[in-house]
Every structure is written in structure tokens, then in C-alpha cells.
Amino acid sequence: MKNHPKSFSFNSIQNQGFTLIEVMVASVILFSVIATVSMIYRGAFLSSEKANNHINISAVLPSVLANIRNEIRNNESNNITMLANKANAWQVTYQWQAEVVQQKMPAKKLDPFTQELAMPPKTFKLWHVQLALELNGLTKKYQFSELSWENN
């Protein structure tokens, strides 16, 4: 018998779909790609949040340094050798501690009216300052020196 062009065999009907193993392999590949993309997105999101916290801390730093400088320079007592404070500025918590590392009198100056050497009326202090800023679990630490002077 001759096969007619319009007749279908039983084998051709069976080969028209995917097997269960092919569907499972495709599913594993699809879920692996989805998991990888979500991990990459999560990592990018966390990096973005961390960078945002660094930017916010860096933006607050100049005003925090100005506050610390003012507190150190407004300290009128000649006996104090340590200062510390804790405060908040624009959602950033900061704490600092300053210790005098050197205290000196300036050199004598020649008074033009009396023609004698006179001691200037100031005492200079060199402070070592340690500063820690914290925002959303990110902590940045700084160390610097600050100069203050007092009238005797």
C-alpha cells in the first residue's frame, strides 16, 4: 500500500510535544537564571544603600567638624585636658573625644612701647581628636588634630 500524503502516522502525533525531562531541564535552567539575576539585583541594591550611607556621612562631616572645633575653642578653662561629646546631625549619630597632647606658651615678644620682652597673653593647646560617625549600621572613624588658645 502506498502512503497517502494526507494520512498521519501514529509516530508523528507522538513527537509533537516536549517530554517531561525536557520540561524539567528547561525549568531548572529558567529558575537558575531567575535566582542568579535576583542575587545580582540584591547585591546591587545593597551596594547602592551602602554608597548612599557613605555619601550621607561625608555630607554631614564638615558641619560635625565645625561643631567639634567650636566646642574645643570655646572651652575657657585652662585646666581641662580632655573633652568628649555625643550628638546627632541629620540622622547621623556621632561621638568624639579630644585630649590635649601639647600645651605651650608662645615665645616672648618685644613690646615696641617699653622696649622690653613681654609674654603674650595666650596659651596654645594641641588636641588629638577621635571621631566616630554612625548611620544605619555603617560606622566611619576619623582622627585629627585641633588647635585652641586661651587668654591667660
**Cβ neighbours of residue 43 closer than 8 Å, sequence gap 6 or more:** none
Q: How far is the C-alpha of 73 from the C-alpha of 125, rounded, in Å?
A: 10
Q: How far is the C-alpha of 83 from the C-alpha of 125, rounded, in Å?
A: 13
Q: How far is the C-alpha of 136 from the C-alpha of 57, rounded, in Å?
A: 10
pLDDT at 2 exceeding the cut of 80: no
- Vertex 53: Cα angle to 48 and 58 (nearest 5): 125
Q: Is residue 5 part of a domain?
A: no
Residue 88 grid coordinates: 546627632
**How high does pLDDT run on average in the chain?**
83
Q: What is the CB neighbour count within 10 angstroms for residue 148?
A: 19
Q: Are 82 and 97 in contact (CB under 8 A)?
A: yes
Q: Are 82 and 98 in contact (CB under 8 A)?
A: yes
- Residue 110's H or E segment, with its range, is strand 109-110
Lowest mean pLDDT among 4-13, 52-61, 77-86: 4-13
Q: Is residue 62 part of a domain?
A: yes
Is the pTM value of this prediction over 0.75? no
Q: Is residue 77 part of a domain?
A: yes
Q: How far is the C-alpha of 90 from the C-alpha of 49, rounded, in Å?
A: 17
pLDDT at 34 exceeding the cut of 90: yes
Q: Is residue 123 part of a domain?
A: yes
pLDDT tens per residue across span 37-48: 999 999 999 899
Q: Is residue 30 part of a domain?
A: yes
Domain encompassing residue 117:
10-151
Q: Is residue 85 part of a domain?
A: yes
Q: Is residue 22 part of a domain?
A: yes
Q: Is residue 3 part of a domain?
A: no
Split into its structural domains, the chain has a count of: 1
- Vertex 67: Cα angle to 58 and 139 (nearest 5): 40
